[in-house]
Structure 1
Amino acid sequence: MVELEFQQKARALIDSLKSICANYGLGNDGNEFKIITQAFLYKFLNDKFAYEAKRIKPILVAEASLGDALAKMPKNELEMLQRRMGGDTARLKPQHFISYLYNRQATADFAKLFDDTLLDIAISNNDVFAVKTDGGTKVVLFDRLSQYIADESKRDDFCRAIINKLVDFSFERIFTQKFDFYATLFEYLIKDYNSNSGGKYAEYFTPHAVARIMAEILVPQATRSDVRNVSVYDPSAGSGTLLMNVAHAIGENRCSIYTQDISQKSSSLLRLNLILNNLVHSIPNVIQGNTVLHPYHRDGKDLKKFDYIVSNPPFKLDFSDFRDALDSKENKPRFFAGIPKVKPKATDKMEIYQLFLQHIIYSLKPDGKAAVVVPTGFITAQSGIDKGIRQYLVEHKMLAGVVSMPSNIFATTGTNVSILFIDASNKDKVVLIDASNLGEKIKDGKNQKTVLIQEEEQRIIDTFNAKQAVEDFSVAVSYKDIEGKNYSLSAGQYFDVKIEYVDITPEQFAEKVQKFTSSLNSLFGQSRELEVEIKKQLAGLKHE
């Protein structure tokens, strides 16, 4: 009940912030998502600090204004209080609290006070909360939000409107709850801002069904108590849906997240996701940059190897501007199956997922596991880089299996997708599942998508983890079987061909043969008549 009530109020807050942006001319503006996500984050950091302060010093619970109570506290006592807080709690000063700003709305240049407060929080917490670029520049928590209002005379009122919405909302009741339910809230928060906008680097929100299936197969329930102190990597992280699911499966305090993504927007959203999901300790590992061209995470000079890797990489992208830079001696081991060629037409995009997939294989530890979303065409291609990658996985015996998903599982793309599971320790059977007939088709705005119900998700997970062979659904095959099928990873190619047998009497058999014979005789007769007619028509042709 607490969870449902909180989600309703949180969504109402998000809608209110969107309404404020619209009222000040920023509806559907490119900066709207920055304002909403940063205001949302500001409130979260306030409430997390308040929750921790009251937990450590219960006397603060009775205080009407926590900010005022902290302002009266001796400096050394306040410092001691902050040191006792966890590393995922931002360090705040009394004047950073929303209540402090709320009580000073009559101040001249309120927008400046508001912006200065956010920037001071960002500077005070830069070491923990800043995202880095691959060049080493730190991207701080907050911007000057009022700068996005072109009319300077309206900036004070804009900032007051935000503060008035934030002051009536609280996260504190749910900090004792498991963080999993933030997933749906986070999706609601960013649903309008993390879609394919037609730009060069299209961003897609990975459906939670896909993310859950990947996590439950990578980290099965039966093995979770043994998993600890592991690294989880996504080289095309987006807003982090896949990572959050794997982290929850392992335990947030048992893993460290490592990411890279070329999009500044996605990196900012990922940071917010990590904060909401109790994974602040991994923020220093969030890198904004080009993974394919400049992979960031290293152990010394060598690329870092990871225990778990998840990814939903972009499938096709024109990377002709840096394609030749990839074709170097240094990159040969990483791109072992080759680098896609530049397309003859400038409008044709290149198969960049092939590079991400090879990078993932190269970045796995010897006993590591990975789950990657790929276009379904990858699993059956008869030649080229796709086949080369599959052949490599088979020859090195590092396949766990493939799940072919229903069409339109992603509402934003019509490409059929499969999930490729890699397991360097699996030397036995490989599981291939055809889940293409599962799910219910529903409308999602202008698009149609397929949604799996929970029982269908669980069926896929249980069948895969048990390595079960289920008629017309799954097979468990050997590496030799796969080699014999030209390295195809399509379950359908391994299903038994069924021949229906029906018992009939000799009389019934004779009757059927007679009908077939009569039918053939009729067709042969028509053929002879047609032959005569064609010859007659040809004989009548004259040259004029």
Structure 2
Amino acid sequence: MTDQKQQLEQQLWNIANTLRGKMDADDFRDYILGFIFYKYLSKKMELYANEILEADGITFADVEGHEQEAELLEALKDAALDKLGYFLAPSELFSELARRGNAGGKNQFILGDLSKVLTHIEQSTMGSDSEDDFGNLFEDIDLTSSKLGKSENDKNELIVKVLSHLDQIDFDLQNTESDILGDAYEYLIGQFASGAGKKAGEFYTPQQVSKVLSKIVTVGKDQLKSVYDPTCGSGSLLLRVANEVEHVAGFFGQEMNPTTYNLCRMNMIMHDVHYNSFDIKNEDTLEKPQHEDLRFEAIVANPPFSAKWSASPLFMSDDRFSAYGKLAPSSKADFAFVQHMIYQLADNGTMAIVLPHGVLFRGAAEGHIRKFLIKDRNYLDAVIGLPANIFYGTSIPTAILVFKKDRKNKDKILFIDASAHFEKVKTQNYLREADINKIADTYKTYTCHAEQSEEAHEAIDKYSYVASLSEIQENDYNLNIPRYVDTFEEEEPVDLTAVSANLKQLDQDMKQVDHTIADFCKQLDINTPF
């Protein structure tokens, strides 16, 4: 299965690289991912329709032109809208468009038909329960864009090539035990993110970090009622949480960027998450929260580091912020995201958020909020320092803050310093599987052994430390990790006798060199330099 997955990933990435030509990678991402999604929808529609029609002894391809075409299409549409959330006619399938584009052995003009099909997919959901989940999904695929080519024929030629190459790849959707296409889609998103520079942080959290966050919020659980990400990007973090448990009943997220919001919904559907099981919104989370009435069992986030926000005084009457007495500064929204997430956290839930190190020690309003969270609420459960340079587009070191409303370790906070545990690959640092597991296992031990003896909380030398709340109070609620985890490496003692002997030997050697130089100068009948 691993070989098959890797082969599919490489095939898709090769197509992306070969066919994008001079187009910017960010722009081509929207086209290639959109067309992969279109093929996925087509294949799912075809497989489901064939399953329904099997009893009638016909296939989906036989419906158009059948004497009962209208009745069959109407029945299939009703069933598909309920099961899949959308509908495609046989003539609208990906394979059919790819075939028409290559009819007669040369490129045929299909841009108009393709545009109509993509629009019809969205229109087919109007008035149904899935309308919000499929609306405007393909709006970033602009088939009239000059980026595809100078002339209409140039644009058509590129699109036909893309469809033809994708049509030759088997997505293996018949295999219900496998999700290799979903994984390959994730792989492509990650590959595009790695070359996107600072823009990458807008839509993708590296899988290594996603794994750490996911393992932490699922400790002790094999099922989750809900998981929420207030800055969900492409949805990779939400989906990664699902990999750590047997079942997640509901996925919730909010994303400000419309293009990334579309990518997230596609990613959910590509991972076979039913449209009734996810609720992704396109709005600014801090300014216009969309899930205020809900509380979530697991919350994960990698918000934009030190982003700006309005910090409007009106928020002092907002239930998310009012209890703290102060707002996060307008120049740094880090703690605003923390406050928002804590407000949405269920009493039995766990939240994990990645933030820049400044949140651990900055003063003023942030210091006040940090103290309130620890002293007045006692919600902070762990602080985990990550290596620098593991995120795309920034090299700054970061930390994971873990919060719970019902903490077992009520008088302690775990500190982990994982900053030196990584592998360097080219210019990027990566958490290895062993590094990820060490973080997760250390936190799990701390959580699951909360009621055991103090020995269960012993520090791992130069890696972790369980601090008492009184220690943190003595440090004026400064959470800077080196204050708690001692990573100091003692230098080996200096042998002064050996040093003295070496100096004497050097002195003798220098005298011998001086003597040799003086001898050469005498032979050359010139003055010595000393």
Q: Determine if the TM-score, normalized by the shorter chain, exceeds 0.5.
A: yes
Matches within 5 A, 1:335-350: 336=324, 338-341=326-329, 350=331
CA shift in 2, pair 1:398/1:89, >3 Å: same
Supply the AA of the counterpart residue of 1:385: A
400, 404, 418: which is aligned to 2:381?
400
Structure-1 separation of matches of 2:181 and 2:29: 21
Structure-2 separation of matches of 1:93 and 1:84: 13
TM superposition shift of 1:196? 5.5
TM superposition shift of 1:413? 0.9
Instruction: Verify the 8 A CA contact 1:337 1:385 in the aligned structure 2.
Output: no
Aligned to 1:472: 462
Matches within 5 A, 1:353-364: 353-364=334-345
Supply the AA of the counterpart residue of 2:431: L
RMSD between aligned alpha carbons? 3.7
Aligned to 2:187: 187
2:139 pairs with 1:139: no
TM superposition shift of 1:491? 4.6
TM superposition shift of 1:108? 7.1
Q: Which runs of 5+ in 1 are unaligned?
A: 343-349, 503-510, 516-544
TM superposition shift of 1:103? 4.0
2:443 pairs with 1:426: no
TM superposition shift of 1:363? 1.9
Aligned to 1:276: 270
Aligned to 1:48: 44
Instruction: Verify the 8 A CA contact 1:340 1:351 in the aligned structure 2.
Output: yes
Matches within 5 A, 1:316-395: 316-319=306-309, 322-324=310-312, 327-330=315-318, 333=321, 336=324, 338-341=326-329, 350-381=331-362, 383-395=363-375
2:123 pairs with 1:123: yes
Q: Which runs of 5+ in 2 are unaligned?
A: 447-456, 501-530
2:437 pairs with 1:458: yes
Supply the AA of the counterpart residue of 2:43: D
Aligned to 2:209: 210
TM superposition shift of 1:250? 3.3
Instruction: Verify the 8 A CA contact 1:264 1:288 in the aligned structure 2.
Output: yes
Structure-2 separation of matches of 1:70 and 1:402: 61
1:85-117 Cα shifts (integer Å, max 9, x gaps):
673464221122123224433597521112111
Supply the AA of the counterpart residue of 2:145: Y
Aligned to 2:233: 238
Task: Determine helix, strand or coil for the equivalent of 1:122.
Answer: helix
Instruction: Verify the 8 A CA contact 1:258 1:286 in the aligned structure 2.
Output: yes
Structure-2 separation of matches of 1:130 and 1:29: 30
Structure-1 separation of matches of 2:378 and 2:316: 27
1:375-422 Cα shifts (integer Å, max 9, x gaps):
1232233x2233223322223122221111112222421211111111
Instruction: Verify the 8 A CA contact 2:316 2:326 in the aligned structure 1.
Output: no
Task: Determine helix, strand or coil for the equivalent of 1:409.
Answer: coil
TM superposition shift of 1:46? 1.4
Supply the AA of the counterpart residue of 1:36: I
Instruction: Verify the 8 A CA contact 2:380 2:413 in the aligned structure 1.
Output: yes
CA shift in 2, pair 1:184/1:478, >3 Å: farther
CA shift in 2, pair 1:431/1:95, >3 Å: same
Task: Determine helix, strand or coil for the equivalent of 1:250.
Answer: coil
Structure-1 separation of matches of 2:488 and 2:19: 63
1:32-53 Cα shifts (integer Å, max 9, x gaps):
2221111110011112223334
TM superposition shift of 1:492? 3.6
2:30 pairs with 1:34: yes
- Corresponding residue pairs, total: 472
Supply the AA of the counterpart residue of 1:223: K
2:93 pairs with 1:93: no
Instruction: Verify the 8 A CA contact 2:9 2:187 in the aligned structure 1.
Output: no
TM superposition shift of 1:180? 7.6
2:283 pairs with 1:295: no
Supply the AA of the counterpart residue of 1:403: I
Instruction: Verify the 8 A CA contact 1:309 1:369 in the aligned structure 2.
Output: yes
Instruction: Verify the 8 A CA contact 2:315 2:322 in the aligned structure 1.
Output: no
Instruction: Verify the 8 A CA contact 1:406 1:438 in the aligned structure 2.
Output: yes
Give me the TM-score of the superposition, normalised by structure 2: 0.78
TM superposition shift of 1:140? 3.5
Aligned to 2:510: none
Aligned to 2:165: 165
Instruction: Verify the 8 A CA contact 1:261 1:289 in the aligned structure 2.
Output: yes
Aligned to 2:221: 223
1:410-440 Cα shifts (integer Å, max 9, x gaps):
2421211111111111042432111112111
Structure-2 separation of matches of 1:55 and 1:415: 52
Structure-2 separation of matches of 1:160 and 1:335: 58
Structure-2 separation of matches of 1:182 and 1:373: 25
Instruction: Verify the 8 A CA contact 1:397 1:479 in the aligned structure 2.
Output: no
